[in-house]
Amino acid sequence: MTAMNVVHMRVKPGMEAEFVRLHKEITPGTMPGMRNFSLVKAGERTFIVVGEWDSMAAMAAARPAMISSLDKLRPILEDLGGGRGVTEPWSGEVALQLKP
């Protein structure tokens, strides 16, 4: 069953272009099982990463590659506060997907 992950991040001032550049290095071939990847600008210095995966198992198998990618981002991310650290991740199986 299709799975999705959504991660909220905020970049340090002046680092938005670098943040986008680093995400351009992510291609479907670097993370097997990834169907789609989107980087959403949700506000000033605030982004949401959305990944669509073949399954929860495929997403779990890609976790080392996702952590490696995050390790490149950590120096340019701000702590989100409230004990959340630099990311606020959510994931799960798709319950409903509507397409035109």
pLDDT at 31: 87
Buried b (16+ CB within 10 A) or exposed e, 3-30: bbbebbbbbeeebbeebeeebeebeeee
The secondary structure of the chain in percent helix, strand, coil, rounded to multiples of 5, reads: 30, 35, 35
**Residue 38's pLDDT is what?**
93
Q: What is the mean pLDDT of each run of 10 residues along the chain (100 residues)?
A: 96 97 81 92 96 95 92 96 95 93
Q: Which of 95, 74, 58 is nearest to 7 (CA)?
A: 74
pLDDT of residue 28: 66
pTM (predicted TM-score): 0.90
**Domain chopping of the chain, boundaries:** 3-82
Domain 3-82 has CATH 3.30.70.980: no
